[in-house]
Amino acid sequence: MKKTTKILTIAMVAVIVFGILINFNISVKAFVVDQKPVKVAVFLYKFGDEYIDSVRQNLEKIQKNNEGKVEFTFYDGKNDQSIQNDDINSVIKDSIDLLLVNPIDTKVTQDVVNKAKENNIPVIFFNREPISVDAIKSYGKACFIGTDAKEAGIFQGKILIDAWNANKSIIDKNKDNIMQYVILKGENNNIEANDRTKYSVSTINDAGIKTEQIALVVCDWDKELAKNATESLFLRYGNKIEVIIANNDAMAEGAVLALQEDGYNNGDIKKTIPIVGVDATKEAQELIKRGFMTGSVLQDSSEMAEALYTVGMNLVNNKSPIDSTNYKFDETGVAIRIPYKDFNMNS
């Protein structure tokens, strides 16, 4: 009798365990089926910008390496804020989990934050810094990821200080001990452009080198516009131009192309006008290595993409943006800064 009871008990336990295992297996399968990738809408100010395209490519790599976890969809703002506004309005109605916004007009922050807040969607502004972070501070699921713009200007200044000290007899064409320069500016009323311009020159001055601005031309971060501007400036000022400071590499590359058409910046140091940019794009790195361009400042697109992904996933999961990361907020409490690095022929 005892033996029969023992057998029945074992059988009942086996049935219960088997049932639990079946239910657990069904639950796991259901979880796997129901676990959808995080949908991220990425609004870029325009396709075709070398740095922004590089960020996009690195986000695509992250998606590939995290298959089934995240899905990025990219929108081309075509450098037109009305187009980007329409895209945001359209996407926000869909089932979207996260907004990454690289704005055309850095004054639209409040409108975007309001829309995201109304729909309880986390939003990260990146690269193009808003004029004010007050709007970002008003929403607990918003932040900014970018760089310290003045840091780029400081690096540019240091590159030109080194060039001046090493080759002053060649650079200072009129022998007046003053560095005559041209600025190719990204755009007006843009924090990145303003600070890169300001601190590149002030850094040179702080080193005891006198400077004189020959011209400043706004080229909208564009290579072709910068090429055309440099052609006109060189036609007008010629050898009075001793240095060209560009707010990004696309414009620096345009300046190189323009000067090369006039027989300059082809590798002969005696016929090279120092040109510096920002981003250290692949094309700029090649120009620097060949001696056609003096230097650049590395804005690491892979680090930017990784920060957008990591911080974004934290926000989607209702965590602090910097939870379990090495990132820190600056004094604003809502901005994360990716450090720059200089890039020259010795890099």
Q: Do the domain assignments include residue 280? A: yes
Q: Do the domain assignments include residue 208? A: yes
**Which of 19-33, 179-193, 323-337 bottoms out in mean pLDDT, i.e. has the lowest?**
19-33
Q: Do the domain assignments include residue 21? A: no
Tell whether 66 and 125 lie within a shared domain: yes
Tell whether 309 and 268 lie within a shared domain: no
Q: Do the domain assignments include residue 54? A: yes
Tell whether 190 and 279 lie within a shared domain: yes
The more confidently predicted of residues 342 and 33 is 342
Tell whether 157 and 82 lie within a shared domain: no
Q: Do the domain assignments include residue 91? A: yes
CATH number at residue 123: 3.40.50.2300
Q: Do the domain assignments include residue 118? A: yes
Tell whether 113 and 198 lie within a shared domain: no
The mean of the pLDDT values for the chain is: 92
Q: Supply the pLDDT for residue 294.
A: 98
Tell whether 71 and 161 lie within a shared domain: no
> In terms of C-beta density within 10 A (0-12 exposed, 13-18 middle, 19 or more buried), how is residue 28 classed?
exposed
Q: Do the domain assignments include residue 17? A: no
Tell whether 187 and 132 lie within a shared domain: no
Q: Which domain holds residue 102?
A: 38-147+303-340
Tell whether 58 and 121 lie within a shared domain: yes
Q: Do the domain assignments include residue 250? A: yes
Cα distance between the two ends of the chain: 86
Angle at 325 between CA 192 and CA 122, to 5 degrees: 65
Q: Supply the pLDDT for residue 34.
A: 53
Tell whether 84 and 104 lie within a shared domain: yes
Sheet holding 210-218, edge to edge: 210-218, 178-185, 243-246, 275-276, 295-298, 341-344
Q: What is the mean pLDDT of residues 252-267?
A: 98
Domain count, the chain: 2
Query: What is the per-residue pLDDT across 211-254, written as a single tens digit (0 to 9) for each?
Result: 999 999 999 999 999 999 999 999 999 999 999 999 999 999 99
Tell whether 173 and 285 lie within a shared domain: yes
Query: Among residues 97, 85, 1, 10, which one has the least CA distance to residue 43?
Result: 85
Rounded Cα distance, 157 and 163, in Å: 10
Query: What is the per-residue pLDDT across 151-186, written as a single tens digit (0 to 9) for each?
Result: 999 999 999 999 999 999 999 999 999 999 999 999
Tell whether 225 and 103 lie within a shared domain: no
Tell whether 158 and 291 lie within a shared domain: yes
Annotate the chain with three-state secondary structure.
CHHHHHHHHHHHHHHHHHHHHHHHHHHHHHHHHHCCCEEEEEEECCCCCHHHHHHHHHHHHHHHHCCCCEEEEEEECCCCHHHHHHHHHHHCCCCCCEEEECCCCCCCHHHHHHHHHHCCCCEEEECCCCCCCHHHHCCCCEEEEECCHHHHHHHHHHHHHHHHHHHHHHHCCCCCCEEEEEEEECCCCCHHHHHHHHHHHHHHHHCCCEEEEEEEEECCCCHHHHHHHHHHHHHHHHHHCCEEEECCHHHHHHHHHHHHCCCCCCCCHHHCCCEECCECCHHHHHHHHCCCCCEEEECCHHHHHHHHHHHHHHHHCCCCCCCCCCCCECCCCCEEECCCEEEECCC
